Amino acid sequence: MDNKKIAHHALNFIGGMPEVFEYHNDDKSKTIDIMTCVYDGNKDKAVVSTIGLNETNINKLTENNKNLRVELIMLALPEDDVFGEIISSAAFDIAESEECDIGMIIPETVENYISDAKASHIVLLNPAYWENYEPFETDDTVITWLLVAPITDDEAIFIEKNDILKFTEKLQEKDVDLTDLWRESCV
């Protein structure tokens, strides 16, 4: 897959001025590119997105029998590299497990970088923040972006006991700032 085309596709729905940085796992055996964009209309926010996670086969097919692949996207704060670390860590976990789905919780992802963060885990959600978002399609593949949302212990328990849609409703109802890693639980 041509990752430049994927980056351009993501930039079309994210907006802003992109910069791409390479991140490594702990032993530097794997790398992933992370595109950072200042979020259009709000210079206090940014967006980070993986570029290249789509190369991981997550063993899922779309309704059209096309291979489903993913990239991750996350709301971030400009000038704070921890969001790039968090999303790259999630990408390495997904690449290693070759599993990924909406509602998937990856425990302690934030905690690995910020020990006192209340939102210490992440969950994968639909990318509802971008109105003009569309998956990237080729003849045999569909690449979709999943939103990385930092969550608290109580929110992780709520998601496991309930349905991810109920949690998404709580996020919207409480207008949760997903860049606040020290926020109170919304459940």
pLDDT in tens, 45-80: 899 999 999 999 988 877 788 899 999 999 998 778
With respect to residue 65, please indicate whether it lies within any of the assigned structural domains. yes
Share of the chain above pLDDT 70, in %: 96
With respect to residue 43, please indicate whether it lies within any of the assigned structural domains. yes
pLDDT in tens, 11-23: 999 888 899 999 9
pLDDT tens digits, the chain, 187 residues: what are they?
689 999 999 999 988 889 999 999 889 999 999 999 985 556 678 999 999 999 999 888 777 888 999 999 999 987 788 999 999 999 999 999 989 999 999 999 999 999 999 999 999 999 877 888 999 998 899 999 999 999 999 999 999 999 899 999 999 999 999 999 999 999 9
Give Cβ neighbours of residue 172 (< 8 Å, ≥ 6 apart). Answer: none
With respect to residue 181, please indicate whether it lies within any of the assigned structural domains. no
The Cα 174–Cα 35 span in angstroms is 29
Q: Given this model, what pLDDT does residue 88 score?
A: 97
With respect to residue 131, please indicate whether it lies within any of the assigned structural domains. yes
With respect to residue 183, please indicate whether it lies within any of the assigned structural domains. no
With respect to residue 138, please indicate whether it lies within any of the assigned structural domains. yes
Instruction: Please choose, from the candidates 112, 103, 113, the residue with its C-alpha nearest in 3D space to the C-alpha of residue 163.
Output: 103
Give Cβ neighbours of residue 40 (< 8 Å, ≥ 6 apart). Answer: 14, 15, 16
Give 3-state DSSP helix, strand, coil % of the chain, rounded to 5: 25, 30, 45
Q: Given this model, what pLDDT does residue 42 score?
A: 61
| Pair 40, 18: CB distance under 8 Å | no
Q: Given this model, what pLDDT does residue 43 score?
A: 67
With respect to residue 125, please indicate whether it lies within any of the assigned structural domains. yes
How many independent structural domains does the chain possess? 1
Q: Given this model, what pLDDT does residue 52 score?
A: 96
Domain residue limits at 11: 3-174
